[in-house]
């Protein structure tokens, strides 16, 4: 069977037709695509899209169908994924190259993120339970975190992986707290400190492992995906030393349904270097003997809406960006946002907020939604 025939039959399992007329059907412009996908899996598919070898009107739905029907398991010779796996087992770049993701992803240009994100520059999943807009969904998420850790005026909080400072600024404005944030992105740190407007918060360009002190509460929003499976236990031990005995640690992270020792090959190469998603099993092993699990909240379906909102903003604002970014970047970023949306829609990816305490909440913890 030829590569084209194999892929044609494979896509039928997900009701996708090559050169079909429906929005999720794929339009192939170069027949070399088939061999590229068969030998390099997701890396081949994503890079072929970046190179203009194929298109799809509704890219997110195309990826949703591939993920939902688990078509990737039929690709038996995936050299890119094999190399990613070997690299993940032999190296610990999440520790030795901790600042790489900051330089290659978060530092590429605040102009891009200002166009794409909400007004507070919140680069993580929004909470859409009662929200109609991206701004509202992000504020709802920030407030949800504050309420889950019982934030109170005068407390001192730590944000590990604090981004452009949206959580610290929100918590200081609405709850009257002081705070410290750390990030591996110099652009994020500079922006956050410039925008704090006299609030008692600070953002440092610093590896979390070098932190000292004690904090009433610790939060980490969208950073654990960069820690790496070899460092999950070390991460939790460090958080344990930084958290006061009666405080809460809230972990907000994307998660995977299966334990992994490497990330997706395309995403690792082009979007999040050295990134990988933790599983429930891996998080459980990392916190065992250190924390009591008070609450575990999954609202991964909300990331589909968040990513679509980000793409809508990015696409609408492209004219203001294309002087700084080329067309291949546009296709790469479009593939990133819409492929991730489809992956969350398929429930292949999850979004977890986990509330942890050192000794357990006396009389029990009340879950907040």
Which tens digits make up the pLDDT trace of 175-209? 999 999 999 999 999 999 999 999 999 999 999 99
Q: Which of 36, 78, 81 is nearest to 54 (CA)?
A: 36
Check pLDDT > 50 for residue 83: no
Average pLDDT on 298-318 reads 98
The kind and range of the H/E element at 182 are strand 178-183
For the 99-357 domain, the top CATH level (class) is: alpha beta
Per-position DSSP letters for 325-346, written without gaps between them: S-HHHHHHHHHHHHHHHHHHHT
Asked if residues 325 and 112 have their Cβ atoms less than 8 Å apart, the reply is yes
Q: Which of 28, 33, 14 is nearest to 56 (CA)?
A: 28
- For residue 326, count other CB atoms closer than 10 A to its CB: 10
The C-alpha atoms of residue 287 and residue 204 are separated, in whole angstroms, by 26
The answer for residues whose C-beta is within 8 angstroms of residue 319's C-beta and 6 or more apart is: none
pTM for the model stands at 0.93
Average pLDDT on 232-250 reads 98
Domain ranges, ordered by start, for the chain: 3-77, 99-357
Q: Is 111 exposed, middle or buried (0-12, 13-18, 19+ CB in 10 A)?
A: middle
Check pLDDT > 70 for residue 1: no
Residue with the larger pLDDT of the pair 75 and 105: 105
59-68 and 301-316 are packed helices; what angle lies between their axes, rounded to 10 degrees? 150
Asked if residues 43 and 34 have their Cβ atoms less than 8 Å apart, the reply is no
């Amino acid at each position: 069977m030829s590569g084209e025939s194999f892929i044609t039959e494979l896509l039928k399992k997900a009701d996708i037709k090559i050169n079909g007329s429906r929005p999720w059907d794929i339009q192939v412009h170069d027949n070399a695509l088939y061999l590229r996908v068969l030998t390099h899996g997701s890396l081949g598919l994503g890079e072929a899209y970046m190179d203009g070898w194929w298109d799809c009107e509704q890219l997110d739905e195309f990826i949703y169908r591939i993920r939902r029907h688990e078509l990737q398991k039929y690709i038996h010779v995936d050299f890119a994924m094999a190399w990613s796996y070997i690299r993940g087992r032999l190296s610990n770049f999440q520790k030795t190259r901790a600042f790489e993701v900051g330089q290659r992803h978060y530092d590429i240009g605040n102009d891009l993120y200002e166009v794409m994100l909400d007004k507070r520059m919140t680069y993580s999943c929004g909470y859409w339970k009662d929200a109609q807009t991206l701004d509202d969904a992000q504020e709802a998420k920030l407030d949800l975190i504050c309420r889950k850790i019982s934030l109170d005026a005068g407390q001192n909080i730590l944000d590990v992986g604090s981004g452009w400072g949206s959580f610290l600024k929100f918590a200081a404005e609405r709850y009257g707290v002081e705070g410290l944030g750390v990030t591996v992105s110099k652009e994020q740190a500079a922006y956050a400190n410039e925008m704090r407007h006299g609030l008692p918060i600070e953002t440092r360009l610093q590896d979390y492992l070098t932190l000292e002190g004690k904090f009433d509460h610790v939060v980490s929003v969208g950073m654990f995906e960069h820690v790496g499976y070899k460092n999950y236990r070390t991460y939790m031990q460090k958080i344990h030393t930084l958290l006061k005995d009666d405080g809460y640690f809230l972990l907000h992270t994307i998660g995977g349904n299966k334990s992994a020792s490497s990330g997706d090959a395309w995403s690792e190469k082009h979007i999040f270097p050295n990134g990988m998603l933790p599983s429930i099993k891996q998080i459980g092993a990392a916190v065992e003997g250190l924390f009591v699990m008070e609450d575990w909240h999954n609202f991964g379906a909300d990331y589909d809406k968040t990513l679509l909102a980000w793409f809508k903003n990015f696409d609408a604002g492209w004219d203001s960006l294309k002087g700084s970014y080329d067309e291949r970047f546009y296709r790469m970023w479009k593939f990133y946002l819409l492929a991730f949306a489809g992956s969350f829609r398929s429930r292949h990816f999850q979004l977890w907020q986990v509330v942890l305490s050192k000794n357990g909440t006396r009389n029990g913890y009340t879950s907040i939604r």
